[in-house]
């Protein structure tokens, strides 16, 4: 027995279902989600053609068949022919039809098939974009305020911005969020910190950084098991990216040395992080609830003789250091003192043991 030849429209619909199946496999977009979009597209086409968007769309994925029924309310007197049908005519379509109910009038889909198909294509494309944006947003949100590794796909020769591939998503690392003087090439993997995730007109955007203090914090959490399990806590971080970072740590176990745990055997743990940051110096100091002890530790590697808090209760203090330690305490261009102040939250004035030049006794 000869097989019945398929109509071109039905064949086209079958191809559409094959395409939808591929989209589900490749993009993870459910076929049902796309079919819902197509039904809405057909409803829109009906509204444009018939002034009535109330439709019943029946889809048979196996045969690739779409049957469309325009729904009209059964009335005794028609005021809106697009939405209403006379009782006698309704009974011809459905002998059980009653006044006030709706009956479905089967449409010749060829009348609006092209419009529906075109609208469906547009909505499918938009649906794919929306779904991809949704997936990207999910991907970014799962990494919010986390350390991630990204593949350098492109470096903009004009702006110096780096395009990174992070999982299935893309993000841009601007020049001002990069570590100064760092050499990065296409094909390299670099670690970045996801500072924020925002929804923009162009889609989800991850704000990423290599200069953020929390980048170093997350690196230590990854590298030091004692931090990861909560035995050692990072209390504060201050950083001038590419140059120096100060990290204040505290142990919650008297048998564990917080600073030693972060440094690791023969400096292995800290050197791993220093290498990742292109040689950035890292000072790890002991945190203390006593501000004077904490401030003295924060000025490491300089030795401190005395810390005097201001009498007015403001978070400012005078620190006395041996004359030979003055330049070390202040640091190159004031960096050590500046980072110590950021770390502790105190304003720090440093003076040598012999007193400031010209200071009254």
Q: Which residue has the tokens 């002991």?
A: 286
* Domains assigned to the chain: 8-128 (3.30.1480.10), 152-209 (2.40.50.140), 212-287 (3.30.300.20), 303-361 (3.30.300.20)
Per-residue pLDDT reduced to its tens digit, 260-290: 999 999 999 999 999 989 899 999 999 999 9
- Asked if pLDDT for residue 1 goes beyond 60, the answer is no
For the chain, the helix, strand and coil percentages under 3-state DSSP, each to the nearest 5: 40, 30, 30
With a CB cutoff of 8 Å and minimum separation 6, the contacts of 283 are 244, 245, 246, 247, 300, 301, 339
- Distance between CA atoms of residues 66 and 71, nearest Å: 16
Closest Cα to residue 245, out of 206, 218, 208, 225?
218
C-alpha torsion 339→345→347→350, nearest 10: -50
Q: Do 99 and 87 contact (CB within 8 A), yes or no?
A: yes
Per-residue pLDDT reduced to its tens digit, 206-228: 899 999 999 999 999 999 999 99
- Asked if pLDDT for residue 360 goes beyond 50, the answer is no
For the full predicted model, state whether its pTM sits above 0.75.
no
Helix (H) / strand (E) element for 329: namely helix 326-330
Give 7's pLDDT tier (boundaries 50, 70, 90): low
Cα 357 off chain centre by: 53
Per-residue pLDDT reduced to its tens digit, 65-92: 778 888 999 998 888 888 899 998 988 9
Closest Cα to residue 239, out of 273, 265, 198?
273
Output the pLDDT for position 14: 63
Helix (H) / strand (E) element for 321: namely strand 316-321
- Asked if pLDDT for residue 12 goes beyond 70, the answer is no
Output the pLDDT for position 123: 65
**Portion of the chain with pLDDT greater than 90, in percent:** 50
- Distance between CA atoms of residues 61 and 64, nearest Å: 5
Long-range contacts of 162-171 (CB under 8 A, 24+ apart): 162/190, 164/190, 164/192, 164/208, 166/139, 166/192, 166/206, 166/208, 167/139, 167/143, 168/135, 168/136, 168/139, 169/136, 169/139, 169/140, 169/204, 169/206, 171/140, 171/205, 171/206, 171/208
Q: Which residue has the tokens 């889809």?
A: 59
- Distance between CA atoms of residues 67 and 59, nearest Å: 7
**Phi, psi (rounded to 5 degrees) for 333:** 55, 30
- Asked if pLDDT for residue 11 goes beyond 70, the answer is no
């Amino acid at each position: 027995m000869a097989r019945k030849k398929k109509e071109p429209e039905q064949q086209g619909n079958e191809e559409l279902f094959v395409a939808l199946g591929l989209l589900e496999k490749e993009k993870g977009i459910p076929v049902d989600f796309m079919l819902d979009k197509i039904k809405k597209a057909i409803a829109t086409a009906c509204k444009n053609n018939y002034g009535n968007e109330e439709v019943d769309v029946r889809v048979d994925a196996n045969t690739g068949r779409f049957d469309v029924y325009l729904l009209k309310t059964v009335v005794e007197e028609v005021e809106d022919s697009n939405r209403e049908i006379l009782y006698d005519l309704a009974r011809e379509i459905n002998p059980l039809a009653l006044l006030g109910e709706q009956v479905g009038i089967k449409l010749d889909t060829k009348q609006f098939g092209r419009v529906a198909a075109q609208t469906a294509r547009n909505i499918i494309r938009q649906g794919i974009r929306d779904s991809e944006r949704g997936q990207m947003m999910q991907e970014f949100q799962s990494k919010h305020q986390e350390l991630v590794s990204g593949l350098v796909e492109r470096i903009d020769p004009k702006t110096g911005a780096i395009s990174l591939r992070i999982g299935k998503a893309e993000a841009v690392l601007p020049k001002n969020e990069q570590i100064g003087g760092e050499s990065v090439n296409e094909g390299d993997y670099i670690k970045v910190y996801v500072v924020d995730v925002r929804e923009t007109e162009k889609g989800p955007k991850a704000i990423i950084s290599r200069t953020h203090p929390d980048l170093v914090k997350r690196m230590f959490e990854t590298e030091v098991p004692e931090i990861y399990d909560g035995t050692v806590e990072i209390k504060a971080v201050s950083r001038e990216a590419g140059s120096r970072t100060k990290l204040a740590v505290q142990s919650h176990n008297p048998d564990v040395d917080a600073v030693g745990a972060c440094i690791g055997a023969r400096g292995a743990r800290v050197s791993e992080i220093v290498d990742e940051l292109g040689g950035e110096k890292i000072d790890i100091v002991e945190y203390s609830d006593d501000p004077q002890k904490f401030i003295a530790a924060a000025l490491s590697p300089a030795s401190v003789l005395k810390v005097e808090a201001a009498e007015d209760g403001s978070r400012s203090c005078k620190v006395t250091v041996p004359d030979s330690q003055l330049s070390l305490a202040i640091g190159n261009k004031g960096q050590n003192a500046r980072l110590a102040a950021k770390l502790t939250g105190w304003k720090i004035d440093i003076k040598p043991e012999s007193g400031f030049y010209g200071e009254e006794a």
